[in-house]
Amino acid sequence: MVKEKVRCCILVIGIFLLLVSSATGQTISEAYKGNIYQPGKLKPTDSVLKVRAGDQAPDFTLPSVTGEKVSLNQYRDKKNVVLSFVPAAWTPVCSDQWPGYNIIKAIFDQHEAVLLGITVDNIPTLFAWTNQMGKLWFPVLSDFWPHGGVAAQYGVLRSDGVTERALFVVDKKGIIRSIDIHDINQRPALEDLIQELEKVSK
Amino acid sequence: MKTMNPILRYKVVWIPLLIALMSPATALAQSLQKGGQLPSIVLPVPSNPEERAYLGVSGTGTFKIPQIKADVVLVEIFSMYCPYCQKDAPGINELYDVIQKDPDLRDRIKIIGIGAGNSAFEVETFKKTYQVAFPLFPDKDYVIHQAFGEARTPYFIGVKIQRDKSHQVFLSQQGGFPGAQPFLQQILKESGLR
């Protein structure tokens, strides 16, 4: 009887805590029409970085949603590159990150930079998801197979197979100039990225 | 021996649960109700004199939405990262223009935007990108977004303000912006302005 009461109390406290924690600190656009999966609060970071600022950025070639293959090296001596790894399609913070970058092409242009969006999702999933964001001006790349191969090269593949929420700024010489392995639960502030781009384009 | 239903037997447990369900934390998870009141939030008085004049507020501190000099205030909770907020931005601008050009409405209906989870820089980026003329306020830490029930964006709240500065929510709508003219007609009808 006492044990039963204790179990019930634990259940009630659990429900209460769940309700209290339901204030998520994130926005979800109507654009996704209730199709965003809520993973809950995750461990902020969960991988060991394999590159450092000042290193040559490991080259890669990945398929994009629009069909062509994109290599990091194709921008060498032409453009600065921002690599934006986001953990997974159809999740809250990720769905609210790239659409913001989509309205600031002029700022990227001003700093002679391109953006490459990367996830470990497959192309059909990325196609359906990014269609909700409107027409994106930057390539969206699938690091699906071998699963998370590029993410693993950079050291941003988490133990559950998704990537960190990570931003790498790579200059025209292919050198990594800044790295932001962000708390996976939070969107990086735009001004921080712009500041890094300003440093690279000076 | 008669066995009582466990649900009734542990009312000591269920009563706190009901209290929990009615607690402010739970209320946060619901968008505002028509006929209700705004949560108690304050906004910074804009540094831009034109925006201060538009809102009819002065000084350098904070103000509450019902202190805005208007009969109706339309609040849009938006995010620069939200595709529909981006898509609707030209239409909301058109709504603002239509109101400003109507001598009977320009002093009676005011619009403000609150950037949920957006820093001042991000709000300014949205303002510049879409050339938004009405005041936008950052809500970097989602405080206002949570107080307004964490609705999906864009979220429109219409507030009717009485002469004594009491107020009532007459519109609470997630998305579904129908275009400038239909939305204006909806606001006029639901607020009782016309």
In a domain, B3, yes or no: no
Domain containing residue B116: 36-191
CATH number, domain of B66, equals 3.40.30.10
Give the residue carrying structure tokens 């275009």: B179
In a domain, B151, yes or no: yes
Prediction pTM value? 0.82
Report chain B residues touching chain A, CB-CB < 8 A: 6, 10, 12-14, 16-17, 20-21, 23, 25-26, 28-29, 79-87, 116-117, 119, 121-122, 125-126, 129, 141-142, 145-146, 150, 152-154, 174-176
In a domain, B6, yes or no: no
Q: Is A9 one of the annotated active-site residues of the chain?
A: no
Of the residues B3, B9, B13, B132, the best mutation for testing chain A's interface (the one with the most A CB atoms within 10 Å of its CB) is B13
Q: Report the chain A residue with the minimal C-alpha distance to residue B143.
A: A25
Domain range annotation of chain A: 43-201
Hey, what CATH class is A43-201 in? alpha beta
Q: Report the chain A residue with the minimal C-alpha distance to residue B122.
A: A190
Q: Report the chain A residue with the minimal C-alpha distance to residue B28.
A: A23
In a domain, B131, yes or no: yes
pLDDT in tens, chain B (194 residues): 444 454 445 444 444 444 444 333 333 446 789 989 999 999 999 999 999 999 999 989 999 999 999 999 999 999 999 999 999 999 999 999 999 999 999 999 999 999 999 999 999 999 999 999 999 999 999 999 999 998 889 999 999 999 898 999 999 999 999 999 999 999 999 999 98
Of the residues B81, B126, B140, B145, the best mutation for testing chain A's interface (the one with the most A CB atoms within 10 Å of its CB) is B81
For chain B, how many structural domains are there in total?
Answer: 1
Judge: A15–B17 Cβ closer than 8 Å, yes or no: yes
Contacts of A24 in chain B (CB under 8 A): 150
